[in-house]
Amino acid sequence: MLGTGGAGIPTIGSVFPENGATDVSVLTTLRVKFSVELDHTSVPEAVSLRVGSREIRTKMILHDLKVLHLEPTDPLDFGTTYRVIVETSLRSRSGKPLSEQQSWDFTTEGTPPPSPAQDSLEANLEALAHDSMMGRGSGTGEEYLAATYLRDRFNAYGLNPPPGGHLQSFQALSRKTDSLLSSQNVLGVVPGSGDLADEWLVVGAHYDHIGLREQADGTMGINNGADDNGSGTVLMLEMARVFKAYVAAGGMPTPHRRSVLFAAFGAEEEGLLGSCHYAFQSPSVPISTTRAMLNFDMVGRLRDRVLLLRGFESSNEWANMVVNANSPGLILFDPLPCEYCSDFACFRDQGVPYLFFSTGGHQQYHSPADDVERINFTGLREVGEVGLRVVIRLAVMPEAPTPLWGGDQIGRPG
């Protein structure tokens, strides 16, 4: 017997947030109360949370078959209007459908997430990938010149120095030549607030490249490394500028927010030396309180709108989060794993969940032809939009991504 609870045509009795509500918390759980008990199998396809035509991933929990809770899998965007839609495919337990589609809107607190500025990306890449930088070879004077440029940008953008200062000098053996080289990481901080201030996120990119190399004709060629990894460096730098300004302007009006360390790593081309020095020897903030690492390496050649993302195996939270953060509508593709292909590896080996953003390889890789004129700046900005929305979600979500492994399960690079 179905009983009277599931009989009749379903109607919506009340909703939270109400239609037209503003200043709704980005951490809110949506509630919909129905007049009759529902056929629970009809709910997932009938009910959705949307921004425009884009569906937001949620967890749906039906209490007593009448009260539906929609829990977004990660924080909503600030300052954004959302729509809840209930389709006529929703059925009561007796099988009767909703008579007509229902929908209502609400707007979250704060201001919309900002986007990277293309002119800023272009200006910084023109400086870092200029011939005067001589290819930013690991351990060279030109790499140091690039480091001071980045330090000055951090200062101009108002980022705080971490303990030990913006420049973190180190010496390490090249894993390619076994020679000792001197390099430096460049670090800047946007402090958090409230109960989450002592937890950290790292947003990183390596800024060195391969410098001068002899060409087939015997001449020395300058390898400017506009994509590898000038693109990731300037995107990290622009994300630091935009995120700092966003926080300072009150765009994220929440009392609890994680601190963010923006990092430009040196000597990556010689075997991830800068990031491994930071992660294993001299972390400016405790690795034990580092909740996630986002790594950007070769993100300047977006083609066919495909963004490569690695790291889903490091935490179950990533898949839903990157889909919800994908406001530009890029095609997200998880390629084959790479063990030690970029700076995320040193954090992964310490048990930190990571995401590795890239737009993939190309024929100009490690050649003098990897120059600024080949960079897709529109695509670079769109990659940054996704990255910024992930950082903002990570900053305010009450529980950080849960790592799926521990640091002792994976060995350091040999």
Three-state SS for 249? coil
- For residue 160, what are its two tokens? 């705080």
**Between these two residues, 225 and 216, which has the higher pLDDT value?**
225
Which residues lie below 8 Å from residue 15, measured CB to CB, with a gap of 6+?
30, 31, 32, 33, 84, 104
Give the chain's mean pLDDT. 95
Instruction: Say which amino acid occupies 237.
Output: L
Which residues lie below 8 Å from residue 156, measured CB to CB, with a gap of 6+?
none
- For residue 282, what are its two tokens? 């001299």
Note the residue count of the chain: 414
Tokens 């929609």 correspond to 70
Tokens 């000597």 correspond to 267
pLDDT band for position 7 (50/70/90)? Answer: confident
Instruction: Say which amino acid occupies 276.
Output: C
Q: d(Cα 249, Cα 90) in Å, to the nearest integer? A: 43
- For residue 263, what are its two tokens? 């990092």
**What is the average pLDDT across 210-224?**
91
> What pLDDT digit, counting tens, does each position of 19-55 carry?
999 999 999 999 999 999 999 999 999 999 999 999 9
- Residue 135 contacts residue 142 (beta carbons within 8 Å): yes
> What pLDDT digit, counting tens, does each position of 225-256 carry?
999 999 999 999 999 999 999 999 999 999 99
CA R_g for the chain: 24
pLDDT of 281 > 60? The answer is yes
Q: Each residue of 235-269: b (16+ CB within 10 Å) or e?
A: bbbbbbbbbbebbeeebbebebbbbbbbbbbbbbb
Angle at alpha carbon of residue 322, lines to 319 and 328, rounded to 5°: 145
> What pLDDT digit, counting tens, does each position of 359-412 carry?
999 999 999 999 999 999 999 999 999 999 999 999 999 999 999 975 443 333
Q: d(Cα 357, Cα 391) in Å, to the nearest integer? A: 13
- Residue 268 contacts residue 343 (beta carbons within 8 Å): yes
Q: d(Cα 239, Cα 178) in Å, to the nearest integer? A: 35
pLDDT of 223 > 50? The answer is yes
